Amino acid sequence: MHEALELRDGEKGRYGGKGVRKAVDNVNAIIAPEVVGADALDQRDIDSLMLELDGTANKSKLGANAILGVSLAIAKAAANGLSLPLYRYLGGTHAHVLPVPMLNILNGGAHTGWQSTDFQEFMVMPIGAGSFAEGLRWGAEVYQALKKVLKDKGYTTLVGDEGGYAPALKTNEEAIEVILKAIESAGYKPGEQLSIALDPAASELYDGESKTYNLRKEGKKLTGPELVAFWSEWIKKYPIVSLEDGLAEDDWDSWKLMTDQWGGRIQLVGDDLLVTNPERVKRAIKEGVANSLLVKLNQIGSLTETIEAVTLCQHSGWTAVASHRSGETEDTTIADLSVALNMGQIKTGAPARSDRVAKYNQLLRIEEELGNTAAYLGRAALKK
């Protein structure tokens, strides 16, 4: 794991060790005395000050959760002080692009306790819609159609961490097949109106000692090049337009092979590989690995560093995808951030569960507020 450290209390008798009293104490005792009274418009300076106070490479002293909480509070205070919505404050007058949603309608992997597929997320992208509102409606209709498809096959329609269904499918490929059937059942054309995006979370499948990927449903272990060949067959066969974490976070050689073969045709998104870290993004760009960044604020732990990573990608011809986490709240910052930076894509779960729907509702409000100036790029969002 290359992410910034979220500081947890480790008290097993309280919230299973996940309490955040230490992080809160760090905000009150260490950060607050230094930032109270500062100008909220000085976002970069305040974020830099907190990084200096922490003094570690992964924010392990104060905690990324402590630093990010203050960082976002500063931005929201500044926006409120100027009577501006957050997306307008952060993005200025040029912020106008609504993201194409990646709707995670079928969950697998660790998010379902390995009861479903080997791969963590199967998503649909409404690339043929004319607006965010229309695209979201298409995705919601496919989500409900998938429920019926699964029921007709005798599968459960219980949901995983991100709201997608978590059926115990017989094979990994069956996940693609039922989604394609759901798209057609909802009255849409796969590959033309809605396409498929995948997040296999391959690091979860990787054995560092043997350097192989364990595909339980397939009953086989694959080397990096063999997994690249596996993905190649799927890409040729199905309307897959985006593949996130198709290889493990430290398997740079296989990532390079995948990028050389498919980087000119589909979006190859780095999540665990890049962890929203500008330095890892710079390395990937230099080495020709991946072509898109998954943007998670708490992976890097400050707003300034997040914006730096996104800007670096956009200036290098990459795409950037705003993203939630599997564990979420109803905070809608990432919705505003996606519009502020004109990312053009967002990944925030199924059209279900309030923590996921909150982001979609915020984007509907932003699109309505922008009116005729709002842009929805559709398929073009996948290319920079």
Mean pLDDT of 206-222: 94
* pTM of this structure: 0.95
Q: In one letter, which amino acid is 327?
A: G
What is the reported pLDDT for 282? 97
pLDDT of residue 190: 98
Extract the tokens encoding 3.
């992410």
Report pLDDT for 114: 67
Q: 335: how many CB neighbours lie within 10 A of its CB?
A: 26
Catalytic residue numbers read 162, 296
Residue 66 has pLDDT above 70, yes or no: yes
- Give whole-number Cα distances, 133 to 100, 271, 362, in Å: 10, 27, 11
Map out the domains of the chain with their CATH numbers.
15-83 (3.30.390.10), 92-382 (3.20.20.120)
How many CA atoms are closer than 13 Å to the CA of 116, on its beta-carbon side? 30
Contacts of 267 (CB under 8 A, 6+ apart): 197, 241, 242, 243, 291, 292, 319, 382
144, pLDDT greater than 70: yes
* pLDDT attached to residue 111: 62
Question: Both tokens of residue 338?
Answer: 């996606």
pLDDT at 141 over 60: yes
pLDDT exceeds cutoff 80 at 112: no
- Per the CB < 8 A criterion, the answer to whether 343 and 310 are in contact is yes
119 three-class SS: coil
> What pLDDT is stored for residue 328 in this prediction?
87
